[in-house]
Amino acid sequence: MTGNNALYSTQVRAGRTTFFVDLKEARNGNKFLAISENKLSPENEYQRTTVRIFGNAILDFSEAINCAVAAASQPQEQEPIVEEAVS
């Protein structure tokens, strides 16, 4: 394991924005997903925003992302798909 406690790490570049997706391990041994957006502001300063998803919510979050990706590939003429939050 590296010094930043990442078990897995990847990045996606999109123009002036880079997304980092990291699976990390907390000091108590629990795993969590950290998704960070690092973007260059109009003032040429980097801004970072991070969302952390813990425990069993990782699987629920993954399912929600997969459903959103599937919806994005549907034709625009369809009604918006809105699902209840997964608990």
CATH number, domain with residue 39: 3.10.450.700
- Structural domain for 33, as ranges: 6-72
**Would the pTM count as exceeding 0.85?**
no
Residue 78: inside a domain: no
Question: What is the spatial distance between Cα 81 and Cα 66, in angstroms, rounded to a whole number?
Answer: 13
Residue 24: inside a domain: yes
Task: State the pLDDT at residue 5.
Answer: 79
Residue 82: inside a domain: no
User: What is the number of structural domains in the chain?
Assistant: 1
Residue 32: inside a domain: yes
Question: What is the spatial distance between Cα 47 and Cα 49, in angstroms, rounded to a whole number?
Answer: 7
Task: State the pLDDT at residue 78.
Answer: 59
Binned average pLDDT, 10 residues per bin, the chain of 87 residues: 76 93 93 95 90 94 93 74 64
CB 36 within 8 A of CB 54: no
Task: State the pLDDT at residue 3.
Answer: 53
Task: State the pLDDT at residue 74.
Answer: 81
For 32, counting Cβ atoms within 10 Å of its Cβ (0-12 exposed, 13-18 middle, 19+ buried), the class is middle
Task: State the pLDDT at residue 2.
Answer: 43
Instruction: Tell me the CA distances in angstroms from 36 to 4, 12, 76, 77, 86, one per residue in order.
Output: 14, 10, 29, 32, 22
Residue 86: inside a domain: no
